[in-house]
């Protein structure tokens, strides 16, 4: 029998460390965004592009459907599969958008061909994100992104705003949508 009096015992943390190495090199981007042929029509639409994506500001009206045709050009340098990785919606009061899709088209602006459609908002809430997102396979070439929006009518207020942020994934290895923590 052990009896301890006036003695304190401190336990130490046990920590194991391991080392991994990553070698990083610069490669050309597999996809690139630029301004499409219909990138601006004030006050209805304005667009901007950068090295990592794009932004589009659009107006909605009490129309049943609104289609913004080819505001963004997508250049595919390496074949792969594009999908929706993450969606966030911030709104001022009530949702302005009931349904929203990003359509990917190819061909001339006067004779486009739908390649596929990525659901962003369905019935006023987030559409499927990775790994459940639809995949659209793209080969090298030029494509255009178009927005199809069905607003919640009647619109609640002329001062209402809504921001929809979409993170796209582009898998150049496999035909799968892999969730990426953003």
Q: What's the CATH code, domain 31-171?
A: 2.60.120
pTM for the model: 0.84
Residue extents of the structural domains in the chain = 31-171
- Nearest partner of 79 among 138, 141, 143, judged by Cα: 138
Q: pLDDT of 122-140, one tens digit each?
A: 998 888 888 898 999 999 9
Q: pLDDT of 36-89, one tens digit each?
A: 999 999 999 999 998 889 999 999 988 999 999 999 999 999 999 999 999 988
Q: pLDDT of 11-37, one tens digit each?
A: 778 889 999 999 999 999 999 999 999
DSSP the chain: -----S----PPP----------------SEEEEE-TT-EETTTEEEEEETTEEEEEE---S-S-EEEEEEEEEEESS-EEEEEEEEEEEESSS--EEEEEEEEEEEETTEEEEEEEEEEEETTEE---TTSS--EEE-SEEEEEEEEEEE-SS-S-TT--EEEEEEEEEESSSSS------
Q: pLDDT of 154-180, one tens digit each?
A: 887 777 888 899 999 999 999 999 988
Q: Is a pLDDT exceeding 70 seen at residue 181?
A: yes
């Amino acid at each position: 029998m052990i009896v301890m009096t006036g003695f304190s015992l401190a336990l130490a943390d046990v920590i194991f460390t391991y080392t991994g190495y990553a070698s990083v090199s610069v490669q050309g981007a597999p996809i690139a965004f630029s301004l499409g042929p219909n990138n601006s029509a004030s006050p209805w639409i304005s667009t901007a592009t950068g090295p990592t994506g794009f932004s589009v500001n659009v107006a909605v009206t009490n129309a049943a459907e609104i289609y913004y045709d080819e505001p963004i050009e997508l250049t595919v340098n390496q074949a792969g599969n594009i999908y929706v990785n993450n969606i966030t919606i911030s709104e001022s009061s009530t949702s302005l958008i009931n349904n929203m899709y990003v359509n990917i088209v190819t061909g001339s602006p006067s004779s486009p061909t739908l390649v596929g459609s990525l659901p962003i908002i369905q019935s006023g809430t987030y559409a499927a994100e990775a790994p459940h997102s639809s995949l659209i396979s793209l080969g090298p070439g030029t494509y255009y992104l178009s927005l199809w929006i069905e607003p919640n009518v009647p619109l609640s207020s002329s001062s209402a705003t809504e921001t929809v942020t979409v993170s796209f994934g582009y898998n150049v290895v496999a035909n799968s949508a892999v969730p990426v923590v953003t």
